[in-house]
Amino acid sequence: MNDITRRTLLGAATAGAVALKAAQREWRPKLGVLGHYTPANIEFIKAEGFRNIIITEGGAIDPAHVTDEQLAAIKSALAAAGLQASALQIGGSHIDPDPAQRERENTKFAKYIEVAGKLGVPYIGTQSGKDAQKPFAAQVDEIVRVYNERYFPLCEKYHVRILWEPWPGGPNIATGPVGFEALLKAFNNSPYVGLQYDPSHEVWQFIDPIQTARDFVDHIYDVHLKDTEIDWHTLKWAGTNPVDHREWWRYRLPGLGSIDWAAFFSVLQKAGYQGAMTIEHEDPYYACCPGGDFTDDYKEGFRMAHRYLRQYVPD
């Protein structure tokens, strides 16, 4: 074999390897929108080129009123629009200290697991549960007990995983690394729990959102895209608990706060994350937050976010 032929073959082999690696690196998580299921919202989401929805609690999927026939129609409508529903977003005080309230919350959440299964939705985003009257370790134990008894048999039946969003404003101890680590260890790698990661919540707790994503990326199954803006002038003047309750932080659309989105997406891409990434629009400058159908101003916020995110997330 002469040198020219050898070089040609080696060059072709190298090019093929590069092409294979490029194909393996192709990153196409489904970009989406969080909101109520309504026909008008689905039409908007489809028209704007989004591929995913996280469906918020209530409205058309209220388990107290929705029928199997209605759920089948919703599932068909999503498929016809080319949309995946990665999660239902359901609040829950899963270990409420009031026994009656806990029973109501547990019963409601159990019904939503059934709804998710019938819709073919793989995840439910929620809070872990919290009972501030108990020590931290006792809360972890109680969360494990309640989930095992009330939720996991249904999770197994309907193929649904419960994901914790790190929202500090609700009944939640899964708000950052301390809670994540304790709960994941206590559940011993259960296939029925994981993280619905929202970096915006880490920012206003002064937790590093990028390092946290890096440390727990193997447990992230769904992602909220929302930014947080810190008003440093107010913070330095009034502190984190201002006596006059003035605002020192606010949620913003991605790119309008302090998150390093290039670094965040690099963590997910390097880990091979291919799940959904969904814009949770709570920006007060773009008409946050209507129930039901999206308003025109609220839609503009989604469009703004979409234009920004295209540089990182391919359509």
Quick check: is 93 in a domain? yes
Quick check: is 18 in a domain? no
Q: What is the CATH number of the domain that holds 48?
A: 3.20.20.150
**Model confidence over 63-109: pLDDT tens digits?**
999 999 999 999 999 999 999 999 999 999 999 999 999 999 999 99
| pLDDT (0 to 100) of residue 4 | 52
Share of the chain above pLDDT 70, in %: 92
Beta-strand pair 227-230/249-252: antiparallel
149 contacts 194 by C-beta, under 8 angstroms: no
| pLDDT (0 to 100) of residue 315 | 74
Residue-number span of the structural domain to which 36 is assigned: 28-309
Quick check: is 15 in a domain? no
Quick check: is 12 in a domain? no
What are 301's two structure tokens?
Answer: 């916020």
Q: Which residues contact 285 (CB under 8 A, 6 or more apart)?
A: 252, 301
Residue 108 burial by Cβ neighbours in a 10 Å radius (0-12, 13-18, 19+): middle
Please state which of the ranges 2-16, 179-193, 201-215 shows the lowest mean pLDDT: 2-16
- Supply the angle between the helices 177-186 and 136-146 in degrees, to the nearest 10: 50
Quick check: is 5 in a domain? no
Domain count, the chain: 1
